[in-house]
Structure 1
Amino acid sequence: MRKLKLQMQVSLDLFIAGKESGMSWMIWPYTGPWTWDEELKKYFTDTTASNDTILLGWDMADGGYIDHWNNIAGQKDNPQNVFAANVVAAHKHVFSRKPRRSRWDNTTTTTEDLATEVLRLKKLPGKDMITYGGATFANALVRTGLIDEYHFIVNPAILGKGVSIFKKLDDILRLTPCSARVYPCGITVLIYSDHNTKKGPPLAIP
């Protein structure tokens, strides 16, 4: 069964955005010059390449995520080009509360129940899957109990308040630490697995 990974930039107190500061506290807020060191860039690019499916919520997809990386992939002199090409090559599976038509290549939109559809996708052949959010969608995925690995890209900043993906959990989320690495630019990457990930009943694949 394929794994589902969640990868997000977070503050030291696990917020993904500030109430007022937005993403200004990030060493690299996904736009502008790529200010991460080369080792961290390689981790980021290799992690994306290890998956062939990206799960997104409609708000993030429609808010510019796919268009942004499609644009970067076409810029040969941009150092983010390789990462962007991996995003373009991966199939984007976009969840929406109401029927919508995708305007992007290599993208499917769905209104299927989140947990049921993720379980179906996990049983398909291929590489692993990854999600980057946004906040509401990531929180919904966390609450399904279907995330196998959490990849936190931790910025050396404490926000005190902000946007969290860990709201309204039904129970304590107990994770197993897999690795921790400090990178020269100041980022720490923490990787955890959830060995209690719900596997669900066997599903018939059409």
Structure 2
Amino acid sequence: MRPLIVFSDVTLDGFMTGPDNDLGFMVDDPQLAAEVTGELMAVADTMLWGRTSFTPSGAYWTAAEGELADWMNRTPKVVLSSDSDFDVSSWANSTLAAGDGVDHVRRLKDTTGGSLVVFGGAKTVRSLVAADLVDEYWIKLNPAIVGHGGSMFTDVTDPRSLTLRTARPYPSGTVALIYSARS
């Protein structure tokens, strides 16, 4: 079974996005990006995106350069959307999975290959967390408090214990955390 990784920036008060989906709290940390995304590129071979986060991310990465941009552009992307007419052709190697995203991810996990990584958005991540499909949380904890916004844990109804695998602080004030959801 393929592991599912959630890779997300989070504020100290636990939000993936600030009010009105604002991402201004994210701290740019080149050292963290190089180390953690390098580790992610070594294990993940398929990305999962929600429809709302797919478009701006695709516009950014198709114009970006460097090793991470190359990986983002060449790695297969699956866009989870209830809209069967959503066009994913603007970002290379993207396919649309219209309908029930949770069921589609369950089927993907049962295939062979490397890890699946979901980058966003908050609604997509929430649905996968609520369905207990996440195996690992790769969190970039940002030194910010936003008060309210989009949380990945809003729809969790049963408490879950996680196992801390790594915690690495960086000079920028960010902390890279990796938790296993499965013992």
Moved over 4 A (4+): none
Distance change in 2, residues 1:115/1:163 (3 Å)? closer
Q: Which amino acid aligns with 2:169?
A: V
TM-score (norm 2): 0.90
Moved more, 181-190 or 3-12: 181-190
Q: Counterpart of 1:82?
A: 67
Structure 2: which 5+ residue stretches go unaligned? none
Q: Counterpart of 1:43?
A: 36
**CA–CA distance in 2 between the matches of 1:71 and 1:109?**
21
* Identical-residue share of aligned pairs (%): 31
Q: Counterpart of 1:102?
A: 88
**CA–CA distance in 1 between the matches of 2:151 and 2:19?**
10
Contact 1:45 1:82 in 2 (8 A): no
Secondary structure of 1:163's partner? coil
The alpha carbon displacement at 1:143 in A equals 0.8
Q: Counterpart of 1:91?
A: 76
Q: Which amino acid aligns with 2:69?
A: A
Distance change in 2, residues 1:18/1:115 (3 Å)? closer
The alpha carbon displacement at 1:21 in A equals 9.0
CA deviations on 1:71-107 (whole Å, 9 max, x unpaired) are: 103xxxxxxx211111112100001112124213211
Contact 2:32 2:176 in 1 (8 A): no
Contact 1:2 1:123 in 2 (8 A): yes
Q: Which amino acid aligns with 2:103?
A: T
Q: Counterpart of 1:70?
A: 62
Q: Which amino acid aligns with 2:95?
A: T
The alpha carbon displacement at 1:20 in A equals 6.4
Q: What aligned pairs does 1:115-130 form with structure 2 within 5 A after superposition?
A: 115-130=102-117
**CA–CA distance in 2 between the matches of 1:21 and 1:108?**
25
Distance change in 2, residues 1:147/1:70 (3 Å)? same
The alpha carbon displacement at 1:39 in A equals 4.9
Is structure 2 residue 48 aligned with structure 1 residue 55? yes
RMSD across aligned positions (CA)? 1.9
Contact 2:102 2:127 in 1 (8 A): no
The alpha carbon displacement at 1:116 in A equals 2.2
Q: How many residues align?
A: 181
Secondary structure of 1:65's partner? helix
CA deviations on 1:172-205 (whole Å, 9 max, x unpaired) are: 1321111111112221011111117xxxxxxxxx
Secondary structure of 2:137's partner? strand
Contact 2:83 2:99 in 1 (8 A): no
Which residue among 127, 139, 142 is the counterpart of 1:152? 139
Secondary structure of 2:34's partner? helix
TM-score (norm 1): 0.80
Contact 2:49 2:119 in 1 (8 A): yes
CA deviations on 1:3-61 (whole Å, 9 max, x unpaired) are: 11001111111112222692222212xxxxxxx14354222233134211000111111
Contact 2:21 2:150 in 1 (8 A): no
The structure number with the bigger radius of gyration is 1
